[in-house]
Amino acid sequence: MKSLNTGINIFMNTVGGKWKCLILFFLSQKPMRTKEFYILMPAITQKVLTDQLKQLERDGLVRREVYKEVPPKVEYSLTELGQSFVPVLNTMCEWGNTYAVEQNLERQEQICRHHK
């Protein structure tokens, strides 16, 4: 089967998977340190978080900043390109909440937030 380089394939290759959209969503709220991700996503492993952040950084959506202090501080934030994805995240979140209500699914909370 031939692989197509279509918009949806590019989208899925860039932000698809179990954790990337959630990482981007939390970064849309504020810059974060690694420890904060573990608090918000306790099921994620160190290897997976590290891999996902590296991929998002490589794809230009996330910025990694290392502060020269002891112990070293590393902070992640969205790039301008990453910020352009926030409206997509909000649309996905709203759809998920609507779907949950229509399907009578249990959910913890509605965490969608609208940004600029």
Residue range 4-58, pLDDT digits in tens: 788 888 898 899 989 999 999 999 999 999 999 999 999 999 999 999 999 999 9
Cα 51 off chain centre by: 13
Q: Which strand (E) or helix (H) includes residue 89?
A: helix 86-102
Question: What does the alpha-carbon distance between residue 44 and residue 3 come to, in Å, rounded to a whole number?
Answer: 30
15 to 5, 10, 31, 36, 86: CA distances (angstroms): 15, 9, 18, 20, 12
Tell me the average pLDDT across 103-113. Answer: 72
What is the reported pTM? 0.85
Question: What does the alpha-carbon distance between residue 23 and residue 116 come to, in Å, rounded to a whole number?
Answer: 19
pLDDT of residue 107: 73
Q: Model confidence over 47-88: pLDDT tens digits?
A: 999 999 999 999 999 999 999 888 889 999 999 999 999 999
Nearest to 59, CA basis, from 3, 93, 11 = 11
